[in-house]
Structure 1
Amino acid sequence: MLWLAKLLILSALAAPTASNARQTDAVPIFYCDFGDQWDVNFDHWPDRWTRVTGPDLPHYIEAALVKEQTAKGGRTLTIRANGGNARAESPLVAVSSKFGYVAEARIRVEGMQYARARVNLEFCDDQQQVIQTAYGEWLRRTDDWLVARIDRVNPDDQQIQYARFVLQLEEGPRADLQGTVSLDDVWLARQPKMVVSTNSPSNVYTGLNNVEITCELSGIREQDPEILFELLDASSLSLSNDRIQLEGRLITNEVHKASDFFHPGTDTEASYIGKTTWRPEITDYGFYRVRVTMRTKKGRLDEHMVTLAIAPPLERPDVGEFGWSLANGPTPLDFEELGVLLPQVAVNWVKLPVWLSANDPSALDELVIFTEQLSAKDIETVAVLDRPSRNVTLPSELSETVSIADALSGESSSWLPTLDPILTRLSLRVRWWQLGNDHDWSFSGLPDLEAELAILRESLFRFGQDVKLGIGWKWMIAQSSSKLATWEFQQYSASPALTGQEIGEYLSLPKRTGVNRWVLIEPLPEQEYDLETRVRDLVEQMLAAKIHGAQAAFVAYPFDKHRGLMTPQGTPGELLLPWRTTASLLSGAQFLGSLQLPGGSENRIFMTPQNDVVMVVWSEHPTQEVIHLGDEVREVDVWGREHVPAQQGHRQVLEVSTLPKFVRGLNSAIARWRMSVKFTEIHVPSVFGKAHENRVEFRNYFRQGVGGSLTLATPKGWKVGPHELDYKVGAGSLERKQFDLTLPFDANSGSSDVRLDFQLSSDKDYQFSVYRQLAVGDGSISLDVASRLDRDGHLIIEQRMANDSEKLVDFKCLLFAPGHRRQRIHVFQLGASEDLQVYRLKDGANLIGKEIWLRAEEVDGSRVLNHRFVAEP
């Protein structure tokens, strides 16, 4: 009978010559155009195709060969929608795991609103059991014929013997009583198979010399094709390459399948198999790609790209806020592989879908063992009850869009029995339970949520398990409620996803008493943003969660193609190492504040549980920060690479850019001392030639009392007395030192930079500087200036003044420009309303780029505002 089946398959194979040219080096093994030769018994059904019927595949759905002028063979296989599912299967075609396969078919979908259709390619064993499936894209409508392609598929199981096409029609949430799905021009071909693998299941390495790339070829027509290996960095710059001439071995041709008889002039040519391994020289940690290209005399036949993460030695804290949610989509790695990967990439929390079938006890056993392994590695598990797995049987089928609140509504007897085995096994091991996926806000909209969740908690955990219950929550939903919450955490999300700044703003709002706030980290899509922007956004989101007190922060889709930290194949994405670096250095850390750096760079300071002080620093414009931060300072870039910064005397030189970097080893006492420094008065009255009293205060964060001196470096012409301030201050104590400040008559109004130079003796001698600002003026009078050239070449200077105090004042304003006579304007009764005055200077082009001085003197008062600016066109 098996011999007869093979002959039947043989008779089904007939392909037009044009099909041979569809893809390079492709050998057609099946072709069907539904022409006359496919219906020799005239029953309007293609010979050797199978119509599958059953409980979910009603026989009343019409399916038949239909005449069609635009079809390749004059007819199509057409299924008419009638409120049900349908499935049609092609004849079996013999295949081999030694080859790769490509498939095409023309499909047309018309007149349907809710149903959808697709073409799949199934690979089966000799008992016709499906082992592997390549799915086509779901289609609801095509304007005309559409070529549905299934790109190269490599059968990965030795038991695979046959392949078949499947035309699938699936009903929607509402029935379509009309509409059609038509299939034509079905084509399957084999190609040389190229499999690229590594010696790591996730391609995350902790050593520079551990990477091995293996390329296995089979079914190639040339015995010695060329294999090109290329190592690329994160920006796709080629770092090294190697060309290897593969020495192939002849594949033994056992002529026992239909595909081995097909096209005897070509397909029976010798095919070869071969294997080679490459060890790239990687000199530094970071993200890399390896491109593997196969070339023959016909040119490039195939290309594979492998991503690698060479992770530097950063220690993961035992306790942290950062985690991955594996409950929102497919996970390509198994539990064993995840158990190795997650600790490597600084994960402290994991969300897992747990609504499994009681009929599959081995799956539940594996889940239980995995949660125990995670606990041993200090990783908290969150059990997510969202949608039941496919083999869970409920009294009524749940649609794809049903919410968790609806799924668990009604009598618990309809769904609780399917959960009892899971709750019994897991609730004593897993403390955290979430109802619904991360974007399911259905519970938050219930009118009496507290009572509803109390009842649900009693149903789920009726044996008194000590669990923490949580639900999804929308950022925009109000939090005000005087009722005691009957849940412990809320998973916040938004659509579209929030930026780091927005996360911080929402977390700054009042929180509900006793309820933890969890946030989602959702990176920017790679197809819309460059790598640097995406990295910076990721770090900003993680910083916002840390700074504003989120108890946990989860990456929503870690294996997403466009937004994930990993690829859908389970290999590193470009953002994996920036995530790992940030999570490793900041998990469990305490936010201390910010420093004012001499170059103005943005920064955030944290203290880790190990008492290491870490600064995250970046700048909108590349700059250099020269400052003493400690004696053991190291820089760490977002890829985790660490180095000692350059020195300038006793100070470090930090190269700061838009991409955040981490600075470790800050002296804790000095960093906190710096942040404590402030002037008791930040405004200096704009009264010149007179001493103004002020104080500077600071706190000693050294473990013992210290003594030393303080010197203020002020703008040119400012006088400080006394010049040097001596102090002695006990451990943890606050010190205030008084000084007088006298301004010159031409001191600029507004903010000016002041440097405070400290010298102190403690366990050793220290020197460091603190940067602050003092504002000349009491802040009640604002003065702004803008310049431009008009059509006549005059320089137009617009002066805007406003007065925030209740008393109206007059000012005499004098403008001094190089090469021009002094100009004078009076401002009368200046109040809260903005006053605009305009100066016009001839030959304005000669003033561009030169400094101009504007002086505003209070009439019948002592205040003077000086404003110097550079003229702009």
Structure 2
Amino acid sequence: MNLRVSGILLCRFRNESQDGFINLIVSAVMVAVVVCCAVVAPQTIVFAQSSPATSVERNDSQRNRPPALEAGAAGELRRTDAVVADGATGEGSSPADLGSPTSKKLPRFLWNFGRANDSNFDDWPDGWQRRVGRRYPKYVKVAIVAKDLAVQQQLRAVDTMIIREWPRVRKQFKAAPVLPPSLTDALIDRYFKIELDGGLVMVQSPPVKTSHMYQYRFSVKIKTEGLRHDRARAEFVFVDERGDEVETHATESLSGTTAWKVLVLDRIRAPKAATGVFVRLVVEGAEDGLEDIRGEIGFDDISIEPFPQLQLVTDEAMGVHVVGNPVMVSATVLGLPRGATQVLFRLLDVDGREVDRQLSDVPGAEVTDPSEASARLDPPPGGARSSASQGMKVQWEIPRLSPGFYRVMASLQGRELRTLATETTLAVIDPEIGQAGNGSFGWTLLETSRNMPPRDLAKWLASVGVDWVKIPCWIEPTDTVTADRMVEASTRLQDVGIQTIGMLDVPPETQVPRYDIRGRRDVVASQLFRDVRVWQPLLEPVMSRLTLKIKTWQLGGDYDYSFLGRRHLQESIADISTGLQGYGQPIEVAICWPWTERDVAPAETSWSAVCRSGEPELTAEELDAYLTLQQTQFNGSGPRTWVVVEPIEKNQYDRNTRILDLTGRMAVVRKHHVQAAFVSNPRDPERGLLTSQGRPEEMLLPWRTTSLMIGNLRQVGSLKLRSKAKNVVFAGADRAVIMLWSPTSCEEQIFLGDDVHVVDIWGRQQPLPIEIIDGQAAQRVKIGPRPIFISGADPTLLAFRMSVNVEQEQVDSLLGQTQPIDVSFTNPTREGMYGTLRVLPPENWSFKEPSMAWELPPGKSTSLPFHLVLGNSAKVGTYEVALDFEHQTVPPKRFTVYRELMVGPIGLEIETETRLSAGGQLRVEIEMTNHSDATQSYDCMLFPQSGRQYQRRFITIEPGTTERREFYWNNAQPLMGTTMLLRAGEQDGKRILNYEIPVLR
């Protein structure tokens, strides 16, 4: 029968030669349609008029229409028909590490803006709503359009011809549907298009049901064209059973001209109160209120995809554990997939090395058919939940861990499973390191910290080394519950020694319209505090309660420089301070100021503190320079100084660089008169100390260790070490700490005290035993790229070591003649000090009196004169001079301080180079530069080893010039690796220069 119908159609179109080519296409299409009608069930052919079989049942009566939104053209909010299940594929499919662990997939909800999303042919997605109102005009064109309009027009012509011939087909083929399938609907790719015209746009989908049993993957395609001010993004909004928004997750915002880009939000857990999620497409203007009048935005392939969920937590909610206690890890499996029977736990250290692992059975694991997943998306009637919906819990008790940062990874194991894995972080801390209290480092807390009980919040902050806290306090005047919690939090924080600062940065959303602000950029302190008649009535009830506990208040966030350039700034801040104080307690006010702007003279200020910050972050050297300049300009007077010091971006720098940069800037803070240094957003994904869930990030422990070790000490200098390791010494009234690091690993042998410990950047502490090295007591300190801290060092000994100095940096190469060497040092104690000093000379050096006794009153300095004689074989170069001190204490203390001394004519610089040619000839080049004011002439003799004849050259160097001489040896291969001696005698002078030259290729 199919062949007979096809023949009739072909014969008919063969007679209509004027439309030959199009008719041929139509004939082929008709044949294909008839064949499909013969083998496919009729109800599946009419797919343009029906929903997929797996569509979730509509329940429009439960929809809550948000205010300021109007329904689509259909007049009611309906469930979208674009629900794809089981076989769904495409851009929204799962990544490998979160793929569906079963052979079948959970339902995937997809809006691709095809005909299934627009069943009434009005070019508007079914059930979607659009916001219309101020700044959201209806005249901005928003509609579903084809990506290729020309192809759409051609296919519509073909559809028209098929419809004309369809009655003849149905006569020959009775099973054919009344209307043929639309080729346009089946083949044309459509998307949701917005044509900008000077207004903003906000549209949203009907909600899709969710369950806390699953985690979700949200994806969307966005393209932009010609945007200058506007930005486009998608938001996935969880709502509760009443339709109220519970939590929002937004993609990045796109502007300018961008080709189709897939944006993904992965591993999103539905809040427990959420029963659904909807998509909100947002076009917003610039922060200054400007909007585009031209441009296009497209959205396509919006996907909501659930996956079984594997939750991982530890017995400390914030992930901070005290050393010595076991760590209990709990993995909860929600939506247990088919074949999952075990959970594999792995514990990794900060460097990714596996520390431990355990494979645990899932108790009560049973085979679950994924085809039942749609039913599990809805809770049972009456709110009852099966035990399966509560999840299967598997626990692992990790034995005692040493302090440090760890990652715990868990993955489901079983037959026919693809990977379903998750991870969490934890930090193990030693509460005994450093010294808490009266420190200088703190955090600006996020609003989410309010959800933590005040007692727990204070205890947790103190445990991680926080000494200062800024709390956002701008709340509704009627919100007494939050105000009471803030008062209690301030009390608890002060009980553990944490200084509290109130921050007035962003008012509640309901108050923003009262400030007559044009755009988000204007939500800044100078605009919010512009009209006292607006802000004072809203803040007075809050301030009257909170000023009882919080004395200092910051206007604006840590990067809010809006007061910069304000006229009559001194008077304005004074008026704001008076208005905030009202009938409450006296307060102090702080403002923010960028590093790049000059400081305000103290006489022109009315604020008590200024928070300095800038983008990008200053380096340690730049921060030191700025703070030094500030101190020099105003001699420490004026408002107290706060600074923002937080880690640099983790996507641009490696871990060691980030650690060294952060600790270096924290060390600079303790060098200057800075009252406090803040991390402005501890949960920042790039520069934070915590994850978005508040658990430790890898920079938390370096920050904590540095804060506890040096937070209440003052930087006093550095030691000159033999290893050349970089170091900073911090000291207080009764303790001292040394921070050390080196680009390359090295070891320092030095005596620092009787009870000394080393603390690494992760907070691991171990004693440094005393050894006898070269007849003296000393400790071996291993130093590397990550900073370490030496605690328990003797403050008096460190101060004495730093005071020792050889006043001459260089002695002349006058062989056999006496030259003065003066060694100075200071008594840093409040008691008298006496002892002996013995100079231990290098080879071919001698001192007429190498040992001297000395005695010093408290706080006084002295200089001991020694007389140096260089032997005839003494060579030019830099030498280490050992100064052996013995303090006459009970018991006596003996230690050695090393200082460098250069030997050579002052103003003469010697450089050498050796090179072996292919023919075996050695060239030795000697370059002499005269930096002095007098002409210098030398008779140079170069002595090789292996019995070769020396060579001789004369060289004269005028002031400020450079001269070169070359020496050549044939058959020089045996000289490789040896050392030549250059002996240069000054003409008409007393200098003899002995200089060693290593022979290299």
Which region of structure 1 is more displaced relative to structure 2, 826-835 or 114-123? 826-835
Aligned to 1:46: 125
Partner of residue 472, structure 1: 592
Shift of 1:283: 3.2
Instruction: Provide the secondary structure at the position in 1 that maps to 2:509.
Output: coil
Give the counterpart of 2:686 among 550, 562, 585. 562
| Pairing partner for 1:407 from 523, 527, 530 | 527
Give the match for residue 620 of structure 1. Answer: 743
For 1:227 and 1:360, the matched residues in 2 are separated by: 45
Measured in 2, the distance between the counterparts of 1:720 and 1:371 equals 66
1:275 pairs with 390, 393, 407, which one?
393
* Code of the aligned partner of 1:234: V
Alignment match, 1:358? 477
Distance in 2 of aligned mates of 1:637 and 1:206: 17
Q: Is residue 2:334 matched to residue 1:199?
A: no
Distance 1:77 1:415 in 2: 42
The Cα of 1:557 is off from its aligned counterpart by: 3.2
Q: Which moved more, 1:559-568 or 1:782-791?
A: 782-791
Deviations 1:835-863 (A, max 9, x none): 44444454555444332333343333323
Residues 1:101 and 1:480: Cα distance change in structure 2 (over 3 Å):
closer
| Unpaired stretches in structure 2, ≥5 consecutive residues | 1-56, 64-76, 153-184, 379-385
Who is 1:156 aligned against? 271
**Aligned ranges for residues 298-337 of structure 1 at < 5 Å?**
298-313=416-431, 314-326=433-445, 334=452, 336=454
Name 2:732's counterpart in structure 1: 608
Offset of 1:416 from its aligned partner?
4.1
2:873 matched to which residue of 1?
746
**1:266 matched to which residue of 2?**
none
Give the stretch that moved more between structures: 762-771 or 303-312: 762-771
How far off its partner does 1:619 sit?
2.2
Q: Is the 8 A contact 2:401 2:428 kept in 1?
A: no
State whether structure 2 residue 403 is matched by structure 1 residue 285: yes
- SS of structure 1 residue aligned to 2:590: strand
Range moving further from structure 2, 727-736 or 858-867: 727-736
Deviation, 1:801, is: 2.1
Tell me the secondary structure at the aligned position of residue 725 of structure 1: strand
Distance of aligned partners of 1:207 and 1:720 in 2 relative to their CA distance in 1, 3 Å threshold = same
Deviation at 1:58, TM superposition (A): 4.0
- Structure with the larger strand share: 1
- With over 3 angstroms needed to count, the CA separation of the structure-2 counterparts of 1:99 and 1:746, relative to structure 1, is same
Whether 1:28 aligns to 2:148 is no
CA distance in 2, matches of 1:630, 1:832: 49
Counterpart in the other structure of 1:239:
355
1:193 counterpart letter in structure 2: Q
Confirm whether residue 519 of structure 1 aligns to residue 643 of structure 2: yes
Cα distance in 2 for partners of 1:843, 1:528 equals 52
Counterpart of 1:265 in structure 2 is: none
- Tell me whether 1:871 sits opposite 2:871 in the alignment: no
Work out whether 1:762 is the aligned partner of 2:889: yes
Any idea what the Cα deviations from partners look like across 1:49-97, whole Å, max 9, x if unmatched? Answer: 3344455644444434434559977444444433333333333333322
Q: Equivalent residue for 2:702?
A: 578
Give the corresponding residue for 2:180. none
Task: Name the CA shift for 1:119/1:730 in 2 (closer, same or farther; >3 Å).
Answer: closer
CA distance in 2, matches of 1:40, 1:384: 52
Q: Which residue in 1 is equivalent to 2:492?
A: 373
Contact 1:615 1:664 in 2 (8 A): yes
Aligned: 1:541 with 2:665: yes
Q: TM-score, normalised by structure 2?
A: 0.78
List aligned pairs for 1:382-401, cutoff 5 A. Answer: 382-393=501-512, 394-397=514-517, 399-401=519-521
Stretch deviating more after TM superposition (585-594 or 138-147): 138-147
CA 1:870–1:425: 2 relative to 1, 3 Å:
farther
After the TM superposition, which of the residue ranges 642-651 and 786-795 deviates more from structure 2?
A: 786-795
8 Å Cα contact 1:77/1:183 also seen in 2 = yes
Question: How far apart, CA to CA, are the structure 1 residues paired with 2:346 and 2:939?
Answer: 72
1:125 to 237, 240, 252: 240
| Identity across the alignment (%) | 28
After TM superposition, give the deviation of residue 705 of structure 1 in Å. Answer: 4.3
**Distance in 2 between residues matched to 1:757 and 1:781, nearest whole Å:** 31
Q: Summarize the Cα distance change of 1:59–1:508 in structure 2 as closer, same or farther, 3 Å threshold.
A: same
Q: Which runs of 5+ in 1 are unaligned?
A: 263-268
Q: For residue 496 of structure 1, what is the aligned residue in structure 2?
A: 616
Listed as ranges, the matches of 1:441-840 within 5 Å are 441-445=561-565, 449-450=569-570, 453-454=573-574, 456-461=576-581, 466-479=586-599, 481=601, 483-509=603-629, 510-513=632-635, 514-515=637-638, 516-609=640-733, 611-649=734-772, 650-701=777-828, 704-777=831-904, 779-789=906-916, 793-804=921-932, 806-818=933-945, 819-828=947-956, 830-840=958-968
Report if the CA contact (8 A) 1:109-1:182 is conserved.
yes
CA contact (8 A) 1:93 1:258 kept: no
Per-residue CA distance 1:227-282 (angstroms, 9 max, x = gap): 111000001111111111212467999x99975699xxxxxx99774111111234
Q: Deviations over 1:750-797 (max 9, x none)?
A: 431111112233121222111112333463433343444567643232
Contact 2:532 2:579 in 1 (8 A): yes
User: What is the alpha-carbon distance in structure 2 between the residues aligned to residue 482 and residue 36 of structure 1?
Assistant: 69
Give deviations 1:379-403, integer Å, cap 9, x for gaps: 1223333333423233312533348
CA distance in 2, matches of 1:562, 1:167: 26
Residue 81 (structure 2) aligned to one of 9, 12, 15: 12
Aligned residues of 2:403 and 2:430 also touching (Cα < 8 A): yes
Deviates more, 1:724-733 or 1:496-505: 724-733
Select the residue among 304, 328, 339 that pairs with 2:458.
339
1:576-613: CA deviations, max 9, x gaps? Answer: 1111111111111122322222323222222234x122
1:699-729 deviation line (CA, Å, top 9, x unaligned): 3446654554322111112111224323444
Measured in 2, the distance between the counterparts of 1:92 and 1:846 equals: 86
* 1:643-665 deviation line (CA, Å, top 9, x unaligned): 12244312211112222211112
Contact 1:204 1:310 (8 Å CA) reproduced: yes
**Is 1:754–1:771's contact at 8 Å kept on the other side of the alignment?**
yes
Give 1:494's aligned amino acid.
G
Q: 1:797 to 1:438 in 2, by over 3 A?
A: farther
In structure 2, do the counterparts of structure 1 residues 466 and 774 end up closer, same or farther at CA, with 3 Å as the change threshold? farther
Q: Deviations over 1:802-861 (max 9, x none)?
A: 233x44444433333335443444444632344444444545554443323333433333
Query: Could you give the per-residue CA deviations for residues 542-562 of structure 1, whole angstroms, max 9, x where no partner exists?
Result: 112222443322224322222
- DSSP-derived class of the 1:279 partner: strand
Tell me whether 683-692 or 582-591 shows the greater mean CA deviation: 683-692
Structure with the larger helix share: 2
Residue 218 of structure 1 pairs with residue 334 of structure 2:
yes
Alpha-carbon deviation of 1:309?
0.5
Alpha-carbon distance in structure 2 between the residues aligned to 1:195 and 1:208: 25
Asked if structure 2 preserves the Cα contact closer than 8 Å seen for 1:720 and 1:742, the reply is yes
Tell me if the contact between 1:231 and 1:240 (Cα under 8 Å) persists in the aligned partners.
yes
- Scaled by the length of structure 1, what TM-score is found? 0.89
Q: Distance in 2 between matches of 1:846 and 1:664?
A: 52
Q: CA, structure 1 residues 210+787, in 2 after alignment: closer, same or farther (shift >3 Å)? A: same
Query: For structure 1, which segment, 854-863 or 65-74, has the greater mean C-alpha deviation from structure 2 after superposition?
Result: 65-74
For the residue of structure 2 that corresponds to 1:763, the secondary structure is coil
Cα distance in 2 between the residues matched to 1:821 and 1:11: 98
Q: Match of 1:367, as an amino acid?
A: M
- CA-based RMSD of the aligned residues comes to 3.6
- CA, structure 1 residues 86+626, in 2 after alignment: closer, same or farther (shift >3 Å)? same
| Range moving further from structure 2, 676-685 or 5-14 | 5-14
Residues 224 and 245 in structure 1, CA contact (< 8 A), matched pair in contact too: no
Distance apart, 1:733 and its partner CA: 4.5
Instruction: Name the aligned partner's letter for residue 285 of structure 1.
Output: P
Q: How far off is 1:164 after superposition?
A: 2.7
Q: Secondary structure in 1 aligned to 2:398?
A: coil
Alpha-carbon shift at residue 536 of structure 1 (Å): 1.9
**CA 1:764/1:483 → structure 2, altered by over 3 Å: closer, same or farther?**
same
Tell me the CA shift for residue 405 of structure 1: 6.5
Hey, what's the Cα distance between the residues in 1 that align with 2:232 and 2:647? 32
